Amino acid sequence: MQGGRTLWLFGDSFVGSPEQHDRRGSQFVHNTIAISRCGADGFEIDYAWGGSERGPARAFLEREGEGWWWLFDGFVYDERLYIGLLEVERTDAHGPLALPFRFTGMQLARVDNPRDPPEQWRTERIELTRETRALPASAMVVNGGSVYLFSFIDAGDGSYPRGLARLPLAALDGRTSGVESELESLGRDGRWKPGLDPDDLRILMADTATEMSVHFHPNIGKWLALYNFPRVGDDFPARRPDDALWIRTAKSLEGPWSEPRVLGRVRELATPEASDPNTGCYAAKEHPQFATQRLFVTYVCNLFTGPGQDPQRILQRLLVDMEIYRPVPQLLDLPRDLRDLPHAGPR
């Protein structure tokens, strides 16, 4: 957002009272937001969710019928705010993390008055895609006349490599219907093609992440992607998930992107004695508005179920451990060989 304000997007959230020392008795909703402000008086943040003060809490943006939305990135265009809505429905547990949900499509929420308080926002929904194997949700980047949508692909084995789609910004002007017909994707042959075909997406990043950030850094003249993901094996939780915070760089959004390199380590996993053995961390992102010479990064840690473990017993620990399941900040240095390279504009 603008004017020293930053919009924070949260998925599953506990809503409780300020005086609580744990999450017991809290209400659980599938998405919330916050708006922070940085100024002469310091840092302030206000949280928002749906429902009234007297009634039960609800998600800030509610999906009608079955399922819910998780809020995945966003962008501002023509003084309107667009928020990615990843459609989620409950299903049988599957994959290496035994996740009990599936993705069914992607929409955009358009907010016509984002400078007003969130409870006064006027929102409309725009269908982005009904595709379920490639979701244009990982990161959204406005560049030139398009918004570029880094898309994670469900490879069917628990991994999520990323490709790239784009949408002309002009397609959003006054639209309240779907824009799927306006989507283009970068094909295996390196050409932009109509639609979003998961079988013909060029894989720009072959490792796993459903969420990441992509920002242009003028001091190195390159785009920088930052991410992590709790890759686990059959021996979890005896063996901890990956603790690396990864970065890649490219001169163009279309790539080629560099091989991943380690920027830093997730403290909760790098020092196992400091956290619950079922901890896994994900959703690492960079926030360049909070730092200039260094990288301000956040990620979140959660509890995951290992083979043969009872999910309810594991997740009950979230109710008493307030050190987990909240954004964790880190301030990290760029690798020395990337600092102070000649300036070049974004492409």
In tens, the pLDDT along 129-139 reads: 999 999 999 99
267 shares a domain with 159: no
299 shares a domain with 200: no
In a domain, 37, yes or no: no
Q: What is the mean pLDDT of residues 31-39?
A: 93
In a domain, 114, yes or no: yes
- How many C-alpha atoms does 86 have within 13 Å on its Cβ side? 29
240 shares a domain with 199: no
In a domain, 151, yes or no: yes
318 shares a domain with 186: no
295 shares a domain with 236: yes
- Which H helix or E strand runs over 184? strand 184-186
Extract the tokens encoding 44: 């302030």
Give the number of domains in the chain.
Answer: 2
Per-residue model confidence (pLDDT) at position 175: 67
* pLDDT tier at 347, thresholds 50, 70, 90: low
* pLDDT tier at 232, thresholds 50, 70, 90: confident
339 shares a domain with 199: no
Alpha-carbon separation of residue 90 from 57, 128, 218 (angstroms): 20, 21, 42
303 shares a domain with 254: yes
Per-residue model confidence (pLDDT) at position 338: 87
Which region among 177-181, 198-202, 322-326 has the lowest average model confidence (pLDDT)? 177-181
Range of the domain at 96: 61-209
Please identify, among 156, 179, 209, the residue that sits at the C-terminal boundary of a domain. 209
294 shares a domain with 279: yes
221 shares a domain with 102: no
Q: Residue 91: pLDDT above 90?
A: no
Distance CA(106)–CA(88), nearest Å, equals: 9
In a domain, 48, yes or no: no
259 shares a domain with 171: no
179 shares a domain with 273: no
In a domain, 205, yes or no: yes
Please identify, among 177, 209, 241, the residue that sits at the C-terminal boundary of a domain. 209
pTM for the whole structure: 0.93
Per-residue model confidence (pLDDT) at position 90: 87
